[in-house]
Structure 1
Amino acid sequence: MDFFAGVLGWTVIAEPGGSFSGWVGDRLAAQVVAGEQGWRVVFGGDEARELAGNSSVDSGRVLHGPWAPPPRHGEPCWVELMVEAPDDEFWTGALGWETRPATEDFVLFTSARHGDPRSVAGRLTTTRGQGWQTYFAVDDLAAACAKVSELDGRVLLEPTTVPTGVIASVEGPHGGSCVLLEKPAGWGGAWSG
């Protein structure tokens, strides 16, 4: 928690049971739950339930996503599902999403839940890491990568331009990785338009 708070500028609050929450101003950016590993992605929906791949649905107010205010430094700003064998039908069926092919290996999941269709998440076919990859907004990617190194983390992928925007992949000194996205205009960076 200290590593990500240092890189992303979170205000950390201790929660019951040894958990912590990270805040950006008045918005919850992340919750670290004792005993859980990796990022747990929570999507908005009508009925709270568990999904595959360390994700779930909550019927409460969505704090981050395509209909939320633009992401601030340190807030979640995108998620991508990394898989070897795509199962888009599961996600479209479970969440009422549509798919829109973007490249040969990449699909956008879109939703019209609150009006016009917007990009909700991406799916990348890859043999590298599997599961949901969480992106966080940063104002200055070079400065954030320097902070990662200063706090004994590793920059796994140096800043590079991808269709989402300018990103870097980082890992904390005790594990836990995420992607940093520089100055996203909205949820999904370049996909938000």
Structure 2
Amino acid sequence: MDFFAGVLGWTVLAEPGGSFSGWVGDRLAARVVAGDRGWRVFFGGDEPRELRGGSAVGGGRVLHGPWAPRPRGGEPCWVELMAEEPDDGFWVGELGWGVRPAGEGFVLFTSSRQGEPRPVAGRLATSRARGWRVYFAVGDVVAACGRVSALGGRVVVDPVVVPTGLVASVEGPGGGGGCVLLERPEGWGGAWA
């Protein structure tokens, strides 16, 4: 938690049971639960339930996504599913998403829950990483990578321009908490907004 607070500028609050929450102003950016490994992604939906790959449908109001205010530095700003054998039909069936091809091996999942379809997540066919990758907004990717290194983390992929914008892939000390940093996204999904 201290690592991500230092990299992303979170205000950290202790929660019951040894867990912590990271805040950006008055917005909850992440909750770190004692004993969990990796990021767990919660999607909006009508019925709370477990999904695949470290994801679930959560109850309550969606805090981040295509209809939320522009992401502030330190807030989640995109999620992307890395899958060797894509199963887009599962996500369409479970969450009511649409699928829009967006490049070789890449699709955008879209949602029309609140009006016109908007990109809600991406999916990349790859044999590298698997599962959901969480993107966090930062003001300056190069400076954030400097903080990652200074705090004992590792920059896995140096800053590079991809369809979402300028990104870098990082992980915390000991290899935990791998995520992607996205520089100054205009909205949910950066350039996809």
**What pairs with 1:122-141 in structure 2 (closer than 5 Å)?**
122-141=122-141
SS at match of 1:187: coil
Counterpart residue type for residue 146 of structure 1: G
Q: Which runs of 4+ in 1 moved over 6 A?
A: none
Partners of 2:14 and 2:50 in 1: how far apart? 25
1:178 aligns to what?
Answer: 179
2:37 aligns to what?
Answer: 37
1:161 aligns to what?
Answer: 161
SS at match of 1:176: coil
Give the drift of 1:59.
2.8
Partners of 2:145 and 2:27 in 1: how far apart? 23
SS at match of 2:90: helix
**What pairs with 1:111-126 in structure 2 (closer than 5 Å)?**
111-126=111-126
TM-score (norm 1): 0.98
1:51 aligns to what?
Answer: 51
Give the drift of 1:58.
1.5
Partners of 2:27 and 2:88 in 1: how far apart? 31
Gaps of 5+ in 2: none
SS at match of 1:3: helix
SS at match of 1:102: strand
1:88 aligns to what?
Answer: 88
Give the drift of 1:82.
0.2
SS at match of 1:79: strand
Partners of 2:141 and 2:104 in 1: how far apart? 27
Partners of 1:64 and 1:176 in 2: how far apart? 19
Counterpart residue type for residue 36 of structure 1: D
SS at match of 1:89: helix
2:191 aligns to what?
Answer: 190
Partners of 1:74 and 1:142 in 2: how far apart? 15
2:27 aligns to what?
Answer: 27
